[in-house]
Amino acid sequence: LRTSPLFLSPQDLYTAPDSCEGRCREPYNPEDECHCNAECERHHNCCEDYYRHCREEGFSSSRDAITDEDLLQVSEQLYKADHNKARPTDIAINPQYQASPDETDDQEDRSPLPLYKYVNEELFSKPTYASFIKLLDNYQRATGREEEVTAKELREQDNFLREVMKTELMKKLFAFLHKKNRYGSEQEFLADLKEMWFGLYSRGDGEQDSSGFEHVFSGEVKKGKVSGFHNWIRFYLLEKQGSVNYFSHNFEGPWDTYPDVLGLQFSWDGFYKEVGSAFIGSSPEFEFGLYTLCFIARPGRGCHLSLGGYSLSIQTYPWTKSTYGNGKKYIATAYVISS
Is the model's pLDDT at 6 over the cut of 70? no
Q: 299-334 pLDDT, tens per residue? A: 988 999 999 999 999 999 999 889 998 889 999 999
Categorize the per-residue pLDDT at 239 as very low, low, confident or very high, splitting at 50, 70 and 90: very high
Is the model's pLDDT at 141 over the cut of 90? no
Categorize the per-residue pLDDT at 180 as very low, low, confident or very high, splitting at 50, 70 and 90: very high
User: Residue 40: its pLDDT value, please?
Assistant: 84
Q: What is the mean pLDDT of residues 67-74?
A: 95
Q: Which residue has better confidence, 21 or 105?
A: 105
Could you give the residue numbers annotated as active site?
215, 230, 273
Name the range with the highest mean pLDDT among 8-22, 29-43, 86-100, 130-144: 86-100
Burial class (CB in 10 A: 0-12, 13-18, 19+), 125: exposed
User: Residue 48: its pLDDT value, please?
Assistant: 83
Q: What is the mean pLDDT of residues 193-198?
A: 97
Categorize the per-residue pLDDT at 184 as very low, low, confident or very high, splitting at 50, 70 and 90: very high
Categorize the per-residue pLDDT at 41 as very low, low, confident or very high, splitting at 50, 70 and 90: confident
- DSSP for 289-312 reads HHHHHHHHHSTTSEEEEEETTEEE
Is the model's pLDDT at 249 over the cut of 50? yes
Categorize the per-residue pLDDT at 59 as very low, low, confident or very high, splitting at 50, 70 and 90: very low
User: Residue 8: its pLDDT value, please?
Assistant: 39
User: Residue 205: its pLDDT value, please?
Assistant: 74
Categorize the per-residue pLDDT at 58 as very low, low, confident or very high, splitting at 50, 70 and 90: very low
Q: Which residue has better confidence, 210 or 72?
A: 72
Is the model's pLDDT at 247 over the cut of 70? yes
| 252 in Cβ contact with 95 (< 8 Å) | yes
Task: Please state whether the peptide bond connecting residue 284 to the residue before it is cis, i.e. omega within 30 degrees of 0.
Answer: no
User: Residue 338: its pLDDT value, please?
Assistant: 65
- The proportion of the chain whose per-residue pLDDT surpasses 70, expressed as a percent, equals 92
Is the model's pLDDT at 13 over the cut of 60? no
User: Residue 116: its pLDDT value, please?
Assistant: 98
Cβ atoms within 10 A of the Cβ of 1, count?
Answer: 2
Picking from 136, 144, 149, 132, the residue whose alpha carbon sits closest to that of residue 199 is: 149
Is the model's pLDDT at 17 over the cut of 80? no
Whole-number Å distance between alpha carbons of 233 and 284: 9
Cβ atoms within 10 A of the Cβ of 18, count?
Answer: 12
Categorize the per-residue pLDDT at 55 as very low, low, confident or very high, splitting at 50, 70 and 90: low
Give the helix ranges, DSSP H, for the chain: 10-13, 50-54, 68-80, 127-135, 151-165, 168-179, 186-198, 212-213, 232-241, 284-297
CB within 8 Å of 7: residues ≥ 6 apart: none
| 281 in Cβ contact with 233 (< 8 Å) | no
| 45 in Cβ contact with 57 (< 8 Å) | no
Q: Domains along the chain?
A: 11-57 (4.10.410.20), 68-337 (no CATH)
Q: 196-206 pLDDT, tens per residue? A: 999 999 987 77
- DSSP for 13-34 reads H---TT--TTTTTPPP-TTSSS
Cβ atoms within 10 A of the Cβ of 7, count?
Answer: 6
